[in-house]
A and B are shown apart, each in its own frame.
Chain A
Amino acid sequence: MGSRASSLLREEDIEEIKKQTGFSHSQITRLYSRFHSLDKGENGALSREDFQRIPELAINPLGDRIINAFFPEGEDQVNFRGFMRTLAHFRPVEDNEKNKDPTSGEPLNSRTNKLFFAFRLYDLDRDDKISRDELLQVLRMMVGVNISDEQLGSIADRTIQEADTNGDMCISFSEFTKVLEKVDVEQKMSIRFLH
């Protein structure tokens, strides 16, 4: 039955996802309901069309890039685990987590991981560098037809000039992090999940 969404998710799965992402039990079940309601084909995975059906996402200038971020390299379907992993980047950073055991690896919603998520939105070919072209592409997506090529080009040049410290005319992840060190990334890249 279509509406019995939460009964399709097993307790073991919930526990695993809880460990991996840090979401609470009730958050996971509610997000599963949401996942299920987006999954029109009812095959346990979301395709790009399922995301594009959300009007607010379709009108977002960076909509396609954000959708891409959910799909692993070269795949067309994302299952619930993958969905939660990506969403976990947007969990707010809680104070008690800062003292977490460092051997368990960095949590998905750490500052570095949030920055890396944003870096990936620029870095389309995944070569760990943002080239001038890649920057221009993102700029063009955000402004549409309202700004000329020359103006956009000079904006891109200026941005690279400011950020590039090793002179390779590209922005690496560490340069990206340096440029944004004063920005409150934890707050800007977090969504207020309710308990």
Chain B
Amino acid sequence: MESYLFPFDSLICMLLGISFTVWFTLLLVFIIVPAIFGVSFGIRRLYMKSLIKLFEWATLRMDNGETLKRIIAKEPVSLEQEIQDMRRGGAEPEFDMSDIFYFCRRGVESIVDDEVTKRFTAEELESWNLLTRSNYNFHHISTRLTALWGVGVLIRYGFLLPLRVTLAFTGVGLLVVLTSIVGLFPNGRMKNYLSDKVHLMCYRICVRALTAIITYHDSENKPKNGGICVANHTSPIDVIILASDGCYAMVGQVHGGLMGVIQRAMVKACPHIWFERSEVKDRHLVAKRLSDHVADKSKLPILIFPEGTCINNTSVMMFKKGSFEIGCTVYPVAIKYDPRFGDAFWNSSKFGMVNYLLHMMSSWAIVCSVWYLPPMSRMEGEDAVQFANRVKAAIARKGGLADLLWDGGLKRGKVKEVFKEEQQKLYSKVLVGSSEDGSSS
């Protein structure tokens, strides 16, 4: 019996051996070597084009349910305007019982559709991209499409996912090992040069690990030493996307576990800014460390995400003013993902990091555009908040995102009382203002 199996056994071993070798050679030639040198065969772009054709075909064939439109149409009328309109005859001073209609209607409108809560969940797509997770309104799917979806699942989980996981491990592993090696060099130009090359190479491998297809615009505005680079935040992948095209000093909290290992290795090769948990609360300390870093022109530009949390890439929320108080040149960058190929938004209240990475690596691809905006500095008479808003508006405009004044912290926290007090003040003005002509005090 055993001799019966022997020839098959060695045959199978041989086949496995050959396929592994072929697999790794292909991997090396088509992915890792180009990553090292920063060139591209264009395979990913071809892939993206074919996917687009596929989605367009799928959309045509689908019995589309209700397309996603707004539920209500809101009129942007101010409080004063509305109340003056409502007052009967217009000459009535002071309070009118119909004044509550304004607040009542605005309140119910915000219950039906508000600007903030929808920014913290994944953007809804107009057409289906053959991923189960983005199928909400499209129940009527033909058999042909289901078959296509099934094939898609096989390709994504059977082929793409293992490939990407291998690459990810390679990339991260190389990053840790090589930065530690570079760390052994004495400080100087050689070290900086090597550190740049090593960081770029490893990030490029990670980019390929996600099949990220990135288009960089206006590269002449790329951030320079002694400045701060600010960008809108959608996911932890933003870092990889920016860092594969330029070298930055990262800012962040010290983590434990794998992240901690990576952080410690990276900081050996070039100065990144990692804060202990306790130091994060101390705003002066944070500001001082950042200013010290930018003052040293030999150090790399700092990469900061002023929103402080991940937003779903349909809008830009309030920028925290800390990085705008330092007084150096700010290089704004706008990042816009194309949600058709895979949603990059990390909904941290719903998914943990591992789940999120799994989603990322089993999507079709991550397609995004990066715009480097011209550098901005704080103008005379402008305070940090106004400067932050100006930069935010520029980023929102370039990326085609909605510019919101709301704080990203509303994802988890409550809105500050002060906003309600503002509304109350406005209304009081309408009441009291009109009684100045009246007879009461």
A163-195 residues at the B interface, CB under 8 angstroms = 163, 171, 176, 179-180, 182-183, 185, 188-194
B250 CB → nearest A CB, Å? 31
A134-152 residues at the B interface, CB under 8 angstroms = 138-139, 142-147, 150-151
By a CB distance below 8 angstroms, the chain A residues around B69 are: 194
| B148 CB within 8 Å of chain A | no
B86-131 residues at the A interface, CB under 8 angstroms = 86, 88-89, 94-95, 97-118, 121
A153 CB → nearest B CB, Å? 11
By a CB distance below 8 angstroms, the chain A residues around B115 are: 56
Which residue in A51, A121, A122, A144 is a CB contact (below 8 Å) of B421?
A144
By the criterion CB–CB under 8 Å, are A179 and B97 in contact? yes
By the criterion CB–CB under 8 Å, are B110 and A56 in contact? yes
Given contacts A31-B71, A159-B95, contact A151 B111 (CB under 8 A): no
By a CB distance below 8 angstroms, the chain A residues around B94 are: 155, 158
Given contacts A37-B117, A38-B117, contact A194 B100 (CB under 8 A): no
Which residue in B71, B110, B350, B415 is a CB contact (below 8 Å) of A30?
B71
| B215 CB within 8 Å of chain A | no
By the criterion CB–CB under 8 Å, are A176 and B414 in contact? no
B416-440 residues at the A interface, CB under 8 angstroms = 419-425, 427-429, 431-432, 440
By the criterion CB–CB under 8 Å, are A191 and B88 in contact? no
By a CB distance below 8 angstroms, the chain A residues around B72 are: 191-194
By a CB distance below 8 angstroms, the chain A residues around B3 are: none
By a CB distance below 8 angstroms, the chain A residues around B103 are: 60-62, 66, 142
Chain A's closest residue to B440 (CB) is A154
| A77 CB within 8 Å of chain B | no
> In the complex, A151 Cα to B438 Cα: how many Å?
12
By a CB distance below 8 angstroms, the chain B residues around A93 are: none
Which range holds the interface residue count of chain B? 35 or more
By the criterion CB–CB under 8 Å, are B114 and A193 in contact? no
By the criterion CB–CB under 8 Å, are A143 and B421 in contact? no
How many inter-chain contacts with C-beta < 8 Å in the A-B complex? 176
By the criterion CB–CB under 8 Å, are A66 and B97 in contact? no
Q: Which of B134-142, B186-194, B288-296, B374-382 contacts A (4 or more CB under 8 A)?
A: B134-142
Q: Which of A4-12, A13-21, A95-103, A104-112 contacts B (4 or more CB under 8 A)?
A: A4-12
Given contacts A142-B100, A189-B101, contact A59 B116 (CB under 8 A): no
| A55 CB within 8 Å of chain B | yes
Encoded as 1 (CB less than 8 Å from any A CB) or 0, chain B from 34 to 78 comes to: 000000000000000000000000000000011001111111000
> In the complex, A179 Cα to B414 Cα: how many Å?
38
By the criterion CB–CB under 8 Å, are B427 and A5 in contact? no
A37 CB → nearest B CB, Å? 7
Given contacts A6-B137, A55-B116, contact A147 B71 (CB under 8 A): no
| B406 CB within 8 Å of chain A | yes
By the criterion CB–CB under 8 Å, are A61 and B419 in contact? no
By the criterion CB–CB under 8 Å, are A87 and B108 in contact? yes
> In the complex, A66 Cα to B104 Cα: how many Å?
7
> Residue among A5, A58, A185, A194 with the most chain B CB within 10 A?
A58
Which residue in A3, A34, A55, A194 is a CB contact (below 8 Å) of B73?
A194
Encoded as 1 (CB less than 8 Å from any B CB) or 0, chain A from 16 to 44 comes to: 00000000001101110110011000000
| A53 CB within 8 Å of chain B | yes
By the criterion CB–CB under 8 Å, are A142 and B424 in contact? yes
By a CB distance below 8 angstroms, the chain B residues around A118 are: 100-101, 104
B311 CB → nearest A CB, Å? 14
Which residue in B73, B107, B136 is a CB contact (below 8 Å) of A4?
B136
A59-118 residues at the B interface, CB under 8 angstroms = 59-63, 66, 87, 90, 117-118
By the criterion CB–CB under 8 Å, are A189 and B104 in contact? yes
By a CB distance below 8 angstroms, the chain A residues around B217 are: none
| B410 CB within 8 Å of chain A | yes
By a CB distance below 8 angstroms, the chain A residues around B88 are: 182-183
By the criterion CB–CB under 8 Å, are B100 and A138 in contact? yes
> In the complex, A143 Cα to B100 Cα: how many Å?
12
By the criterion CB–CB under 8 Å, are B424 and A146 in contact? yes
> In the complex, A159 Cα to B435 Cα: how many Å?
14
By the criterion CB–CB under 8 Å, are A62 and B101 in contact? no
By the criterion CB–CB under 8 Å, are B95 and A139 in contact? yes
> In the complex, A180 Cα to B114 Cα: how many Å?
29
By the criterion CB–CB under 8 Å, are B428 and A121 in contact? no
| B197 CB within 8 Å of chain A | no
Given contacts A151-B440, A182-B88, contact A60 B107 (CB under 8 A): yes
By the criterion CB–CB under 8 Å, are B101 and A188 in contact? yes
> In the complex, A87 Cα to B97 Cα: how many Å?
21
By the criterion CB–CB under 8 Å, are B427 and A163 in contact? no
> In the complex, A34 Cα to B410 Cα: how many Å?
18
| B297 CB within 8 Å of chain A | no
By a CB distance below 8 angstroms, the chain B residues around A145 are: 421, 424
Chain B's closest residue to A182 (CB) is B88
> In the complex, A1 Cα to B122 Cα: how many Å?
14
B354 CB → nearest A CB, Å? 18
| B278 CB within 8 Å of chain A | no
By the criterion CB–CB under 8 Å, are B73 and A176 in contact? no
By the criterion CB–CB under 8 Å, are A121 and B415 in contact? no
Which residue in A6, A56, A193, A194 is a CB contact (below 8 Å) of B139?
A6
Encoded as 1 (CB less than 8 Å from any A CB) or 0, chain B from 382 to 406 comes to: 0000000000000000000000001
Q: Which 6 A-B pairs have the closest CB atoms?
A: A144-B424, A146-B428, A56-B110, A66-B107, A59-B419, A55-B415
4 extra interchain contacts, Cβ-Cβ under 8 A, other than A183-B101, A194-B73?
Answer: A29-B137, A57-B114, A146-B424, A155-B94
**CB pairs A–B below 8 angstroms (7 shown):** A57-B111, A121-B100, A144-B425, A146-B428, A146-B432, A191-B108, A194-B71
